[in-house]
């Protein structure tokens, strides 16, 4: 027979444990969905590449895996324990490859998606949540909304301090660029073409997520088409007519040949040697995927667009950004590789 005091203690302990088990909060995601999440979130499954980068930046210790395994070229710029996380595939976007059973087996407390808040993705979130019983949070991925996205995720995951620091950094970058861009009349802003694909004739029109960084950095995208969005193919003749002052790309094949190519020789950007190659390690600087990785590319592009006002020390900027967001302290060699890359000297291996 137990002594009464012990029995009371046991009951209280059990009640507390039960309370801890069910203790939950309700968060509102960017789609306005009310999602009940556990108080303590230790493991998060990122639904796609943009979400995995947001998650890696805000709370890497809570990752369950990557959508795709990081390549040899990317690994040095991802902090040690996280670069070895398994590849689990993706739930959203073009070509969903994640197996729902794999998702469940990795026992996440939360599934996170970061990107366009459209009905397709909202219904996908609802479906997956209903099927797996795992709370699914959708965060608005527009570039403009980046600080809010970081804060919301920090709030959900209980890492407000880190999130606040990072959100402030992004706000600082935005404000610094906005001040210069506002003082420049639209017709004085550089006309920019973002060349994609091995022949450089793929691009995103104004308003597409693939090229929004151009406008954000104070440039004017020369690819315009009323009523069209997303990726398109240009013809060489259209590029000649548009005659961009600056060309940006991350495609090394295209970059390798653009200066030798007689067709591109007459383009202003090529004549004035203002074709720039974006590094893509650990993630693309200007796109690929369209996530927070673009913040460093934004600083870089704005510096190229307005060298007098926003030039700055790219080496220091890169080091600070990689420290704060990627949790790595690049060695001098690694840093030099990135700087040389951003000046057109891409590493030879792939």
Partner 1 sequence: MVEGTGTVRALAARPLSLLGALAVALAVLVFAAAMVGAFPVSFGEMLAAVWRKLTGAPPIGQIDTVLFEVRLPRVFAAVLVGAALAGAGAAYQTLFRNPLVSPDILGVSTGAGLGAVLGIFLSLPVVGIQLTAFAMGLATVGLVYAIASTVHGREPILVLVLAGVVVGSLAGAAISLMKILADPYDQLPAIVFWLLGSFSAIRKGEVWAAAPLVALGLVPLLLLRWRINVLSLGDEEAKALGVEAGRLRLAVVTAATLMTASVVAISGVIGWVGLVIPHIARMLVGPSFDRLLPTAMLIGAGYLLLVDTIARTMAAIEVPIGILTAIIGAPFFLWLLARGREGWS
Cα three-residue angle 309-207-303, rounded to 5 degrees: 15
CA separation for the pair 288, 340 (Å, rounded) = 20
Confirm if 37 and 124 have CB atoms less than 8 A apart.
Answer: no
Q: Does 228 bind partner 1 (CB under 8 A)?
A: yes
C-alpha atoms less than 13 angstroms from C-alpha of 221 in its C-beta half-sphere: 22
Nearer to partner 1, 143 or 306 (CB): 143
Query: Among candidates 261, 244, 256, 254, which has minimal Cα distance to 304?
Result: 244
Q: Which stretch binds partner 1 (CB under 8 A): 12-20, 124-132, 255-263, 336-344?
A: 255-263
Other beta carbons within 10 Å of 340: 13
Question: Which tokens in the block code for residue 136?
Answer: 């699914």
Q: Which stretch binds partner 1 (CB under 8 A): 21-29, 77-85, 89-97, 320-328?
A: 89-97
Contact residues for 248 (Cβ-Cβ < 8 A; gap 6+): 192, 193, 194, 195, 214, 275, 276, 278, 286, 301
Q: Does 282 bind partner 1 (CB under 8 A)?
A: no
- Within 43-72, the residues that bind partner 1 by CB under 8 A are 49
Q: Does 262 bind partner 1 (CB under 8 A)?
A: yes
- Within 105-144, the residues that bind partner 1 by CB under 8 A are none
Nearer to partner 1, 109 or 212 (CB): 212
Q: Which stretch binds partner 1 (CB under 8 A): 73-81, 133-141, 179-187, 251-259?
A: 251-259
In whole angstroms, the minimum distance from the beta carbon of 46 to partner 1 comes to 15
* Coil, helix or strand at residue 35: strand
Q: Does 29 bind partner 1 (CB under 8 A)?
A: no
Query: Among candidates 267, 266, 265, 288, which has minimal Cα distance to 277?
Result: 288
CA separation for the pair 231, 225 (Å, rounded) = 11
Q: Which of 3, 94, 188, 273 binds partner 1 (CB under 8 A)?
A: 94
Nearer to partner 1, 13 or 265 (CB): 265
Q: Does 236 bind partner 1 (CB under 8 A)?
A: yes
Q: Does 207 bind partner 1 (CB under 8 A)?
A: no
Give me the residues that bind partner 1 (CB under 8 A), please. 49, 93-95, 97, 196-199, 201-202, 205, 210, 223-226, 228, 231-238, 240-241, 243, 250-253, 256-257, 262-263, 265-266, 284, 287-290, 350
């Amino acid at each position: 027979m137990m002594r009464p005091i012990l029995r009371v203690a046991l009951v209280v302990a059990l009640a507390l444990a039960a309370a801890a088990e069910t203790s939950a909060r309700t968060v509102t995601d960017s789609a306005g969905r009310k999602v009940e999440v556990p108080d303590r979130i230790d493991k998060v499954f990122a639904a796609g590449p943009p979400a995995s980068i947001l998650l890696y930046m805000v709370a890497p210790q809570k990752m369950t895996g990557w959508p795709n395994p990081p390549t040899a070229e990317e690994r040095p710029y991802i902090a040690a324990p996280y670069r070895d996380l398994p590849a689990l595939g993706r739930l959203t976007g073009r070509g969903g490859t994640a197996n729902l059973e794999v998702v469940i087996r990795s026992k996440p407390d939360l599934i996170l998606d970061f990107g366009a808040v459209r009905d397709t993705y909202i219904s996908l979130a609802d479906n997956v949540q209903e099927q797996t019983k795992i709370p699914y949070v959708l965060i608005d991925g527009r570039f403009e909304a980046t600080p809010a996205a970081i804060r919301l995720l920090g709030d959900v995951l209980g890492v407000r301090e880190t999130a606040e620091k990072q959100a402030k950094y992004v706000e600082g970058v935005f404000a610094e660029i906005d001040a210069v861009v506002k003082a420049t009349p639209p017709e004085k802003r550089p006309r920019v073409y973002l060349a994609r694909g091995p022949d450089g004739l793929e691009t995103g029109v104004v308003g597409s997520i693939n090229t929004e960084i151009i406008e954000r950095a104070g440039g004017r995208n020369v690819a315009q088409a009323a009523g069209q969005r997303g990726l398109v193919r240009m013809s060489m003749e259209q590029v000649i007519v548009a005659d961009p002052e600056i060309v940006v790309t991350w495609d090394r094949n295209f970059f390798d040949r653009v200066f030798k190519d007689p067709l591109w020789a007459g383009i202003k950007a090529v004549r004035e040697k203002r074709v720039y190659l974006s590094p893509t390690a650990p993630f693309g600087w200007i796109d690929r995927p369209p996530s927070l990785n673009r913040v460093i590319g934004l600083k870089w592009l704005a510096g190229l667009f307005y060298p007098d006002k926003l030039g700055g020390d790219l080496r220091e900027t890169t080091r600070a950004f990689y420290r704060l967001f990627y949790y790595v302290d690049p060695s001098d060699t690694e840093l030099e590789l990135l700087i040389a890359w951003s000046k057109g000297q891409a590493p030879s291996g792939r």
